[in-house]
């Protein structure tokens, strides 16, 4: 009887330690992933300009769908930037480019 109680006690302790180890591992992995995500999603004027340049290159290749997607993404990024005259001008410029793409699609 004592042997069974000891075995059950050791199994219970092992299960608790395993649960603690798994929980710790998950928490560490989540914090590492969260740090990587924050670094990857930093919106700056440069990232917005890069998207606009890629959209212009796609438009020159007559890939209006890709250009429109890139411009919409750039437009979303501009909304996240702090308000200033420059971001307002960029926003208006993106809207004009989207309008011209829409006009080009309807003209075809």
Q: Kindly list the domain boundaries of the chain, sorted by start residue.
A: 1-41, 45-107
Q: Of residues 52 and 39, which shows the higher confidence score? A: 52
- pLDDT of 40 reads 55
Confidence of residue 99 (pLDDT cuts 50, 70, 90): very high
| Cα–Cα distance list, 100 to 57, 69, 108 (Å) | 15, 14, 13
For 83-99, give one letter per residue: b (16+ CB within 10 A) or e: eeeebeebbeebeebbe
- pLDDT of 93 reads 92
- Residues 19-48: tens digit of each pLDDT: 999 999 999 999 888 877 655 567 788 888
CA distance 77 to 89: 14
Contact residues for 97 (Cβ-Cβ < 8 A; gap 6+)? 52, 55, 71
Contact residues for 56 (Cβ-Cβ < 8 A; gap 6+)? 67
């Amino acid at each position: 009887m004592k042997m069974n109680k000891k075995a059950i006690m050791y199994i219970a302790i092992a299960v608790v330690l395993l649960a603690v180890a798994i929980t710790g591992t998950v928490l560490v992995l989540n914090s590492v992933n969260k740090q990587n995500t924050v670094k990857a999603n930093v919106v700056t004027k440069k990232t917005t300009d890069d998207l606009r340049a890629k959209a212009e290159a796609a438009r020159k290749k007559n890939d209006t769908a890709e250009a429109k997607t890139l411009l919409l993404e750039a437009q979303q990024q501009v909304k996240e930037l702090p308000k200033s005259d420059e971001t307002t001008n960029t926003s208006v410029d993106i809207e004009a480019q989207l309008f011209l793409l829409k006009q080009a699609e309807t003209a075809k």
